[in-house]
Amino acid sequence: MTGKKIEETVFKVLMVIATYFILAILAIIIYTIFAKGVKALSWEMLTSVPQGGYYYGKGGGILNAILGSLSLAFGATLLAFLLGLPVALYINVFLVRRKKIVIVIRFILDLIWGIPSIVYGAFGFSMMIFLGIQTSLLAGMITVTLFILPIMIRSMDEILRTVPVGLTEASYALGSNKSETAFRIFTRQTVSGIITAILLSFGRGIGDAASVLFTAGYTDHLPNSLMEPVATLPLSIFFQLSSPVPAVQDRAYASALVLTLLILLVSLFSRGLGKRYHKTKINF
């Protein structure tokens, strides 16, 4: 074998090992959740709220956490989208001539992307004290919104950067102004990428425990008002896992399975939605 061929083989083997190593770890996690979760999963668990003594092995379910997590994550994702899309469009359409400012904005967003969610939780909690709000769905929603905003903005930003300059030129040459170019051309060209950004943020939002710990609180009741505490799946998993009763620990795995399946369902649904718009995208 020549040197070049050896090099090629070595790198190919390295890539293969890395890929399957990662896949294997993910597979083990999913297998564990499935294996331990499926036997504890029951119809009752999906459709009822915890009865007295649930966390010590008595009857009931996690409907409070399922609905709580869904309403919190949907609300937060919607808010983050409404706030994030204009920011991403502003960076990519209005600030094209201000390269330095764009670099600073991207740097700051990348920086706050790395802040642990517990810090957002603490920040949300101090804001609540300042404003005199109790733990509630609203407080949790706002905290999670802040937490997923950098993810939302930067992933939309990266996809908007792929809009070819020729398309931007075509839009301006027709006499569109900047906002028409942003909202009618940029968003249409990148619909599928924007949906991916929304999904990514939704996944982070629904799966995070630390940001909702102090802000959304926890309750055994179903969510019925923005101003009352809600249960969330990550916290529900945490409480069940901390139980000394093995049967309740298994329920924690079942809850994790529910969370995983929820994210899967939302992904599949929005991918389908994205496909409908994908075909108008211009491929360059």
Tell me: does residue 174 bind another protein (CB under 8 A). yes
Binding mask 264-283 for another protein (x = CB under 8 A): ---------------xxxxx
Q: Which one-letter amino acid corresponds to residue 259?
A: L
Tell me: does residue 98 bind another protein (CB under 8 A). yes
DSSP character at residue 54: G
Question: Applying CB under 8 A, which of residues 2, 97, 107, 129 lies at the interface with another protein?
Answer: 97
**Residue with smaller CB distance to another protein, 93 or 262:** 93
Task: Give least dist CB 191 to another protein, A.
Answer: 8
**Residue with smaller CB distance to another protein, 12 or 98:** 98
Question: Applying CB under 8 A, which of residues 158, 180, 220, 228 lies at the interface with another protein?
Answer: 180
Tell me: does residue 168 bind another protein (CB under 8 A). yes
Question: Applying CB under 8 A, which of residues 96, 108, 245, 264 lies at the interface with another protein?
Answer: 96
- For 152, other C-beta atoms within 10 Å of its C-beta total 30
CA distances from 262 to 42, 47, 134 (A): 16, 15, 28
223 token code pair: 């969510």
Integer Cα distance of 272 and 278 in angstroms: 10
Helix (H), strand (E) counts: the chain: 13, 0
DSSP character at residue 228: S
Q: Which of residues 147-166 bind another protein (CB under 8 A)?
A: 164-166
Question: Applying CB under 8 A, which of residues 189, 219, 240, 255 lies at the interface with another protein?
Answer: 189
Task: Give least dist CB 138 to another protein, A.
Answer: 37
Integer Cα distance of 116 and 107 in angstroms: 17
Task: Give least dist CB 274 to another protein, A.
Answer: 13
Task: Give the gyration radius of the chain's Cα atoms.
Answer: 23
Q: Which one-letter amino acid corresponds to residue 89?
A: L
Question: Applying CB under 8 A, which of residues 83, 112, 127, 167 lies at the interface with another protein?
Answer: 167
- For 275, other C-beta atoms within 10 Å of its C-beta total 12
**Residue with smaller CB distance to another protein, 2 or 177:** 177
